[in-house]
Structure 1
């Protein structure tokens, strides 16, 4: 445009160049440079957004994509990057499903061994201690009874661990009963007040979906007991807008983004497994809220 303007306009340049002509030439050069810089900035802005997304993308938070406009090289690069994210998220979901299935199988095996082998052995020890204490004289009887009580408490703890590893009540009585039992056990062992609310019209869910909801609630309660310094916990399960939403909230000190450890990453892995959305909000003044939304339509329902 500048060249055409110089060719068509009745503009001449003196030799040597006079001051006014030099000012005009320099001003035109500055205008062209500024216009080129603005055009380059506009043209390369999608690359800046792509760079920022590359540095922050997290496969455990699916759906992060850049909009594609036009048909140029930059648009094709963004389109290719979005397609790569689609493949990576699908592969991550598949690998997470395999890992979680193997983890649950190992949990069931350990729970079965705790219940069938360790539990039965401790039960046999408990019966022998009772028989010995019934036949012993004082003060040996008191010592045997004390050992019997310690063994009984240890057996209860082994059974509790087995229930945590393999929630049999979930398979036998369903999700609501399993969550009720989980929160009751949590309140007993921590002393925290727990409020529960379950919608009466919850739709039927696939076994793996119920297991994910249970495990997220279990991990959330564990985090509350370990880190929140809370006094009250609320757990709800609602059916709304085509989804089942599990909500766990406490009145503790909250967490920071930097505090997302293995427990929260594990929750995100499980959410990815069933196509759910996990949202964690935290405030030092009001505590932490964990929300898991599972769609009730499609293959995950």
Structure 2
């Protein structure tokens, strides 16, 4: 069997596995929201009712306040885990909202300047494209947080006529030893980027990692838009 046929079959298998992972993450996030989330909300209501009926003794009221605080912490942790598993805003509010909130939250958490340049209208692309673009932004920001030592980042989406491009730019320390791999052949130790590259290639696009004008890195994902049915 020709090597290019083997590569195509492996890429198709990898795309199938990634889609399965996405579906499992989405289902688990929804289950946590519908089951665990509703149960925690009910517990909050019951605790509030019980607290209102308690004797006004400082020890009891203090214990009730501790329980309320603990319950609130569990609820927030559950929400964070849901969001980490699957960003529902992508499907319900669109790519623009999901990316905008992702970048704003990243800037606040990392204490750096985070800017987001998005098209005025929601990009017209399939769900699979939107998932890959959001995953690319998440991976790009994760790498900035772990390696770049940057003071600012820019996430840019260009909605072109026949393709959609997402770029994550930082002003950090640059590629270093990874410069030789900027063309995209191999990125040792960058399994997340390699996985994204395979997903982009399967959709007919590509992923590149290049220097940002001598300082920092530009991660770019380009995906072609499927033809509009006649």
- Does TM, normalized by the shorter one, top 0.5? yes
Match of 2:210 in 1: 281
Match of 1:123 in 2: 41
Kindly tell me the number of residue pairs found equivalent between the two proteins: 217
Match of 1:158 in 2: 78
Match of 2:147 in 1: 227
Displacement after TM superposition at 1:90 (Å) = 1.7
Match of 1:237 in 2: 157
TM-score between both structures, scaled by the size of structure 2? 0.81
Distance 1:232 1:91 in 2: 40
Unaligned runs of at least 5 residues, structure 1:
1-82
Match of 1:217 in 2: 137
Displacement after TM superposition at 1:215 (Å) = 1.1
Match of 1:43 in 2: none
Distance 2:110 2:75 in 1: 19
CA contact (8 A) 2:89 2:97 kept: yes
> In the superposition, relative to structure 1, how do residues 252 and 128 fare at CA in structure 2: closer, same or farther (>3 Å)?
farther
Distance 1:212 1:269 in 2: 10
Match of 1:200 in 2: 120
Distance 2:67 2:137 in 1: 36
> In the superposition, relative to structure 1, how do residues 297 and 123 fare at CA in structure 2: closer, same or farther (>3 Å)?
closer
**Aligned mate of 1:95, from 10, 13, 20:** 13
For 1:165-184, list aligned pairs within 5 A.
165-184=85-104
For 1:1-301, list aligned pairs within 5 A.
84-134=2-52, 135=54, 137-200=57-120, 203-240=123-160, 242-255=162-175, 256-257=177-178, 260-282=189-211, 286-298=215-227
Distance 1:216 1:171 in 2: 16
Structure with the larger RCO, 1 or 2 (CA within 8 Å, 6+ apart): 2
TM-score between both structures, scaled by the size of structure 1? 0.64
Distance 1:140 1:190 in 2: 39
Unaligned runs of at least 5 residues, structure 2:
179-186
> In the superposition, relative to structure 1, how do residues 199 and 125 fare at CA in structure 2: closer, same or farther (>3 Å)?
same
> In the superposition, relative to structure 1, how do residues 158 and 282 fare at CA in structure 2: closer, same or farther (>3 Å)?
farther
Displacement after TM superposition at 1:163 (Å) = 2.2
CA contact (8 A) 2:206 2:221 kept: yes
Q: Which runs of 4+ in 1 moved over 4 A?
A: none
Farther off after superposition, 244-253 or 154-163: 154-163
CA contact (8 A) 1:202 1:244 kept: no
CA contact (8 A) 1:114 1:162 kept: yes
